[in-house]
Amino acid sequence: LGIVQTAMAAKELTIWVFSGQEAAKYGEALQRIIAEFEKQHPGFTVKLATTPYTEYLDRIVTAVRGGRGPDIIQNDVIWTPMLANEGFLLNLDKYWAKAPFKEEDFFEASIRTCKWNGSLYGVPQMDGHWGLIFYNKDLMAEAGFDPDFPPITYWDEFVEVAKALTKPEKGQYGYAVMGAKDEGISVTWGGWYATTGAKSWLNEDKTKAIVNSPNGVRAAKFKTDLALVHKVSPPGVVNWDQWDNRSLFETGKLAMYMVGTWEVDILKEEAPDINFSFTYLPRPRDGVISACYGGWNWSININSKYPDVAWDFIEMVTTVDNQDAISSLPPALIKASKRRFSTWEKGYIVLDQILGSIPRPVHPRYPEMSRVMQIGIQSILMGEKTAQEAMDWVAEEINKILSRP
């Protein structure tokens, strides 16, 4: 009996998540679910490991390529098609066919990110959309604007309010443009692009880039003009990232910045004295309510020894109650998000934008496309190219990426 018990205890289900998932109330909820899962699966213990976002993808690729890695991978929606295309993820079609949830239970954009070549390689966990403008209510009021519903619905209004809130002599700025060479450039450009009514970076069959369309150029010019022309952004814009934005906002020196719902919990914890709120991402006068979609999916490593048990865990965390409990972003299950945001002031804004958001290209080479976009936008910010020249170059480089076998 002792030998049997030892053998049973040796079965370990491993789960990798990004650093932050294990934090605060969401991490506590995940640990409760893990404890319940272990009770329901005697002989198995669950090992949870975390990795900072900037190192996470490399760690996944290195481990799985070497025949190792965890059983379950929590992966960014922009990675799922790439990992699936590389053969790193288990095809989940047979599991989805018998699952207690269906595709229509999730936001449409989240399902799109789980599919590659017509098959499902993930289960949506939570949705992030880069499209909320967080703002300091006190600074809005001081400048004479309604702190609950400031007049920033449209691009032109947003510019004027940002100008009014910019006071360089006090070290105060109206809006922070993210210009550091990381994913922040791509998602913020993608947010402005989505509000023009655009639906994709690529044409319908994903063979050609359309980022240099009039709307693509328009979005690039608007994003960069905020720093270069309207001068509402802090200096050193090409080094400015989302964490710099938060830091300046928490000190009361930044009036507005673009981010997602996860920021609510962070600001309440780190800067409880800041009186803040959020609203829709401003749009052109002929634009739409939209944003750049993001989020996280659950997938199973192709190397997993226990794929059926791994799927059991994914099913357990994919209920309305559990998904709501562990998701720092809006839960991907529609019912879970509707329940959560029905209790939020301005929760309807979050739901409106999730419904209208567009994902970055669901393509295995998206990370390469994003790096090209980052270089292109930086070239505008550094005065090397006009918006048209930069986006023409970005489209040309993306087309090279797409044309490779």
pLDDT band at 54 (very low <50, low <70, confident <90, very high): confident
What is the arithmetic mean of pLDDT over 359-364? 93
pLDDT band at 1 (very low <50, low <70, confident <90, very high): very low
pLDDT at 2: 42
For the four alpha carbons of 147, 153, 155 and 157, in that order, the dihedral sign comes to negative
pLDDT at 332: 96
What is the arithmetic mean of pLDDT over 148-155? 98
pLDDT at 22: 56
What is the arithmetic mean of pLDDT over 57-75? 97
pLDDT above 70 (res 266): yes
pLDDT band at 130 (very low <50, low <70, confident <90, very high): confident
Percent of the chain scoring above 90 in pLDDT: 89
Per-residue pLDDT reduced to its tens digit, 372-388: 999 999 999 999 999 99
Name which residue leads in pLDDT, 28 or 125: 125
pLDDT at 209: 98
Taking alpha carbons only, the member of 144, 102, 143 closest to residue 123 is 102
Q: What average pLDDT does the chain have?
A: 94
pLDDT band at 241 (very low <50, low <70, confident <90, very high): very high
**3-state SS string for 95-137:** HHHCCCCCHHHECHHHHHHHEECCEECCEEEEEEEECEEEEEH
pLDDT above 70 (res 73): yes
Per-residue pLDDT reduced to its tens digit, 285-307: 999 999 999 999 999 999 999 99
pLDDT above 90 (res 15): yes
pLDDT band at 10 (very low <50, low <70, confident <90, very high): low
